[in-house]
């Protein structure tokens, strides 16, 4: 039995991850802004799930995490799933600010806490759910792609730091393609994965100890193509 904290578990991928880990008999701490959704989920697994509702854009993230750790009696796996972004024709400062506050500021505060907690403990696993959009910029959601790139590069940096430290702590950067969540609904995206399928592959990648994984797996091909495609072509289509 593992003690797992999922930051951003009220809906979508985070909620499905909580379902999977709880059904396996793990103890799972779930967070999110919408307390009612967290409590609904907890009723399904009253012995496995504990709740701590907070917004990662707030100023008490670490206090809430420490409370969750106390409730769980420890922490073995920390997953940062909170994310925000909008596809828009116009450039709106409030949207960009919220995107950066969630995907960068909230993310890095919680990752630093988790890194130091696990380093002191001598074991543990840090995971972020970034995006295939982290690979290059996007004209319709520039803050989103930039912030997800920050997450992926930061996790790679932590991975390299832990290697140099010869630490047993592990890091995983999950880069999903299109998943059938609230953010994607209403758009006709190709290779749209059901939430459960994506969550199962995420759990498998974490269990395998991969430092980076693409979800679903065939998005590895798109990742390599996006890296390879020349600027003069990419800038016309993104």
For 108-167, the pLDDT digits (tens) are: 999 999 999 999 999 999 999 999 989 988 888 999 999 999 999 999 999 999 999 999
Provide the mean pLDDT of the chain: 92
Per-residue confidence band for 89, with pLDDT thresholds at 50, 70 and 90: confident
How much is the pLDDT for 190?
A: 61
pLDDT tens digits, one per residue of 30-45: 999 999 999 999 999 9
pTM summary value: 0.93
Beta strands in 18-157 (DSSP E): 27-32, 49-53, 77-80, 125-129
What is the per-residue pLDDT for 203? Answer: 98
Q: Tell me what percent of the residues of the chain surpass a pLDDT of 90.
A: 76
Q: Are 68 and 90 in contact (CB under 8 A)?
A: no
Q: Give the strand pairing for 77-80 and 49-53.
A: unpaired
**Largest Cα–Cα distance of the chain, in whole Å?**
55
Q: State how far Cα 55 lies from the chain centre.
A: 15
Q: List, by residue number, the catalytic residues.
A: 144
Domains of the chain: 3-237 (3.40.50.720)
């Amino acid at each position: 039995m593992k003690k797992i904290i999922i930051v951003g578990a009220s809906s979508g991928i985070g909620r499905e991850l909580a379902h999977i880990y709880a059904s396996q008999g793990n103890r799972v701490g779930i967070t999110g802004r919408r307390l009612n959704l967290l409590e609904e989920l907890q009723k399904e697994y009253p012995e496995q799930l504990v709740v701590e509702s907070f917004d990662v854009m707030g100023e008490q993230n670490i206090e809430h995490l420490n409370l969750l750790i106390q409730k769980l009696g420890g922490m073995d796996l920390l997953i940062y799933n909170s994310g925000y972004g909008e596809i828009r024709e116009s450039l709106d400062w409030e949207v960009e600010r919220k995107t950066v506050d969630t995907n960068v500021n909230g993310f890095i505060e919680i990752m630093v806490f988790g890194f130091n907690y696990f380093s002191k403990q001598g074991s543990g696993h840090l995971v972020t759910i970034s995006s295939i959009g982290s690979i290059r910029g996007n004209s319709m959601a520039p803050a989103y792609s930039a912030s997800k790139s920050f997450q992926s590069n930061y996790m790679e940096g932590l991975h390299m730091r832990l290697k140099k430290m010869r630490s047993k702590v592990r890091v995983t950067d999950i880069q999903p393609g299109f998943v059938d969540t609230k953010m994607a609904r209403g758009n006709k995206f190709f290779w749209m994965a059901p939430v459960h399928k994506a969550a199962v592959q995420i759990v498998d990648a974490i269990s395998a100890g991969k430092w980076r994984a693409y979800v679903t797996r065939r998005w590895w091909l798109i990742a390599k193509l996006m890296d390879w495609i020349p600027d003069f072509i990419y800038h016309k289509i993104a």
